[in-house]
Chain A
Amino acid sequence: MFGAARKLREAGVLGLNERNADYIARLNPRRLYPLVDDKVLTKKLALEAGMAVPDLYGVIAHQGEVRRFPEIVREQESFVIKPARGSGGDGIIVVTGRSKRKRDTFRMSSGVFVSEGEILHHISNTVSGQYSLSGSRDAALIEYCVHFDPIFADVSYQGVPDIRVIVYRGYPVMAMVRLPTRASDGKANLHQGAVGAGVDMGSGTTLTGVLDDDVVDEHPDTGALIAGLEIPKWDFILESSARGYEVTGLGYLGVDMVIDKNRGPLILEMNARPGLNIQIANGIGLSHRIKRIETSYDATATPAERAAFARLEFGTHARQLELLRKPGIHT
């Protein structure tokens, strides 16, 4: 048991306790949480910082406003409804179109049709706080439904795949692509059954994936190879996520982005408590990279410089060196 712990320690694997005590408690002051816990606020801040976000169609913050829903989406064929304070992708519904005969019947990303009444009930639940972190009152966001870039079409089962970048004190550390599966019901959330694929920080190319803590090479539903996909505009993605530090002030941050067919990478949300599965997806621990950032930390570096640092230090070449240092590996 202690041997296993030592091996993990040598591999630089970050554990939940260490993440909570040493990083989140130290680098993420409580007062900054509302900036990322409230998606309406995050969106506003990201827009002010000049980052690209999905358009906001409307916000429903009170039960009385729930009936405004048809009016908000009158012009829209597709949209997404999210709780403003939700966590882990809970309570998100993606409407991809409307029934041809009845405009008040909506097609979900899963292909199922639901009535307007059901959606109103969902919004009402959301507003009363069913999906919020603390169970307190919440608001429902209705926003642009991302038409995702075909690059991930073969490795996603419905839903929208997204890119998660961990940013440590402004420096991107590690990234992964989260691919929805049938089991995850179109949601890009690893503990709901989505596949996570590691990303080479240098080139933005995908590595092998992880499903429920196990390494996988193929998507469980489509059977397509996960590795080797090149994420477009990788530079922009890294720089945007690095900018997330300026926007939120959080030293240990998870930035979630999607790639839209027309509008390119968009910031979906940011997370003050990003999960640790990204380590499994990348086959490498976070700790060594974080130490590297600590040693060459430069408070004056711009987001672009920090993104460049990450590409150089954590890219393919550096990654091979990292793997070499891991015990039991011979190339």
Chain B
Amino acid sequence: MKHRYVYVLAAMLTVVGLSVFFYKWQVLGFPISENQETPVWTIESSVKFDSGPGSIKVQLHVPTLTPGFRMLNENSVSRGYGFTLNYGSGGREAQWAIRRADGEQTIYYRISVYEDDSVDQSDTTPPFPPMPVINEPLKTAVDVLVSDVREHSADTATFTTELLRRINDPSPDPNVELLMSGADTNADFVGVVTMVLAAARIPARMVRGFPLAGRQRSADLVAWLEVHDGDRWLYFNPTTGEERLPERFLVWWRGNERLVNLEGGSNVEVRFAIQKNYLDSVAIAETQAAQRDASAIDFSLYSLPIQTQAVYSVLLMIPIGALIMVLMRNFVGIDAFGTFMPVLIALAFRETQLLWGVILFTLLVTLGLSIRFLLDRLRLLLVPRLSAVLIVVVILMLFISLTSHRLGMETGLSVALFPMVIIAMTIERMSVVWEERGAADAIRAGAGSIVVAVVAYIFMGMAWLEHLIFTFPELLLVVLAMVILAGRYTGYRLSELKRFRALSTN
């Protein structure tokens, strides 16, 4: 029954580890694979105008509710201007003010957004619009059109579609022709449509923004139609009547108000430029977590100094190596020197590369072993002998580095990365085993150590695994749970199937 605690503990560790992992992955959006980059669009609006003699006030509509996009950051570049963000009737407004300015002025407002499908329109339900005051003869035209369309439609959506179809008809009826006679621009056109919809008591408004594609030097605002069906906002293409938003449509502002309002200046002109670039998903997730005030981020390894991060990205792989060690020893049953020696060797392999690592390690141990056998003849006491082996190992490392440097093989220099104390102990253990159990046993255990080190190296070197553990260190709890469970594994080792085969067959 004692075993139950083991399972409960392992289950708890797994649950804790996995739930933190899922929270960070799904909610905070930490990327599960490395170098995952998210496209980020930076939209720069420049407001250019000629300054007048007195104080200047500029008001610019900026994005408020942006379905499908989440804001990463925003800023304004405007020398000498006071800058504030206010909520107006049509959403947020950026406001710049200055007591006096000379000549032509340019003010920039920049916003960065990235795609996030979870961001949805969370606007309030609007009241029914009041009947617009329309003068004759337009009033009759509107009334006729509304009653006509109403007969041919069932609900708000179909009403809008039908209305748009009629208005866009290449050979419109006289009423439509009359209504549209003054609508020159796209925005005027949508303005008339909202007026007709208001006459039918349907809440509607104009949205303006642009579809985000790659890089655009000057993007033109597109007017779109937004209609509320009593439940949610629907988007209509004003020229086709199709009910949808263009792909990657960033809503800049809503309503019929002008984009920019200038007091104390003239010749105002607003231009938009769009730049698409890629940002590391981790950075985005962190910004987002910081905005949400999530405490998980405080414990993120990414908050450490870069150098420390580099150290930890290696250190965090040691538990993986330990897990491999457990599997190789208790499940496969490979003989190796020292409990964690192969893991440390595998760490050294990371720096030397695999082939060179194996060659250098074998060379070092072989040379060390032969010198150890020479030392044996001197009949030294244990501790001085171990120290002598250690010193010999250091000298050998130096020798290998110098020789390989002479030969122009720079990889040989990395021999210095091997843990020399561990190697000295390995040489000592190996020589004792060699003497007492024979060369075969010693070489088998030595080869076993290399095999385990190579397997550990392969796993510890997996970039995606390293990224995963570094970004989600809580997964180490899962590794811990696995090791604890393996500690209760009482089945046979793979090597025992061979060892005891005589018992199962005859």
What chain A residues lie within 8 Å of B487 (beta carbons)?
Answer: 21
- In the complex, are the beta carbons of A13 and B437 less than 8 A apart? no
Known: A16-B333, A285-B503. A21 touches B492 (CB 8 A): no
Tell which of A21, A125, A191 touches B490, judged by Cβ atoms closer than 8 Å.
A21
A188, chain B: closest CB distance, angstroms: 14
Interface residues on A, range: 35 or more
Q: Does A7 contact B (CB under 8 A)?
A: yes
Given the interface pairs A5-B492, A21-B487, the reply to whether A280 lies near B503 with Cβ below 8 Å is yes
Are B499 and A213 touching (Cβ within 8 A)? Answer: yes
For B489, list chain A residues within 8 Å (CB).
17, 21
A17 and B441: CB pair below 8 A? no
Q: Do B504 and A4 touch across chains, with their CB atoms under 8 A apart?
A: yes
The residue from B490, B493, B506 contacting A283, defined by CB atoms under 8 A apart: B506
Residue of B nearest to A21 (CB): B490
**Closest approach, in angstroms, between the C-beta of A216 and any C-beta of chain B?**
11
- Decide: A8 near B505, CB < 8 A? Known: A15-B490, A16-B496: no
Tell me if B497 is interfacial: C-beta within 8 Å of chain A: yes
Interface 9-mer from B59-67, B241-249, B378-386: B378-386
Q: Is A316 an interface residue (CB 8 A)?
A: no
**A192 interface contact, C-beta 8 A:** yes
The contact of A8 among B383, B437, B492, by CB within 8 Å, is B492
- Contact among A4, A193, A276 with B501 in the assembled complex (CB-CB below 8 Å): A4
| Complex interface bits, B446-490 against A, C-beta within 8 A gives 1, otherwise 0 | 000000000000000000000000000000000000000001111
Q: With both chains docked as a complex, state the minimum distance between the C-beta of A191 and any C-beta of chain B, in angstroms.
A: 7
Q: Is the interface of B mostly helix, strand, loop or mixed?
A: helix
CB of A279 closer than 8 Å to a CB of B:
yes
Once bound together, how far apart are the Cα atoms of A9 and B500, in whole Å? 11
Shortest C-beta distance, B256 to chain A (Å), equals: 74
B330 part of interface (Cβ distance < 8 Å): yes
Report A1-42 residues with CB < 8 Å from chain B CB.
1, 4-5, 7-11, 13, 15-18, 21-22
Which residues from chain A contact B500 at a C-beta distance below 8 Å? 8, 13, 15, 213, 276, 279-280, 285
B16 at the interface (CB under 8 A from A): no
Known pairs A125-B381, A128-B382, A192-B436; A15 contacts B493 (CB<8 A): yes
Interface residues of A in 40-87 (CB under 8 A from B): 63
Task: State whether B488 touches A8 (Cβ < 8 A).
Answer: no
User: A121 an interface residue at 8 Å Cβ cutoff?
Assistant: yes
CB of B492 within 8 A of CB of A130, answer no
- Tell me whether A124 is interfacial, beta carbon within 8 Å: yes
Residues of B with C-beta under 8 A to A310: none
Interface residue? B432 (CB, 8 A): yes
| Chain B residues engaging chain A, CB cutoff 8 angstroms | 330, 333, 379, 381-383, 432, 436-438, 441, 487-494, 496-506
Q: List 25 A-B contacts (CB under 8 A).
A: A1-B494, A10-B504, A11-B503, A13-B492, A13-B503, A13-B504, A16-B333, A16-B496, A17-B330, A17-B493, A90-B436, A125-B381, A128-B381, A128-B383, A130-B382, A183-B438, A213-B500, A214-B502, A276-B500, A279-B500, A279-B503, A280-B499, A280-B502, A285-B503, A329-B506
- 4 nearest A-B pairs in the assembled complex, by CB-CB distance: A128-B382, A18-B490, A7-B504, A15-B492
Beyond A18-B492, A193-B438, list 10 extra A-B contacts (CB 8 Å). A8-B492, A9-B492, A10-B504, A11-B504, A15-B492, A16-B493, A17-B330, A124-B381, A213-B502, A283-B502
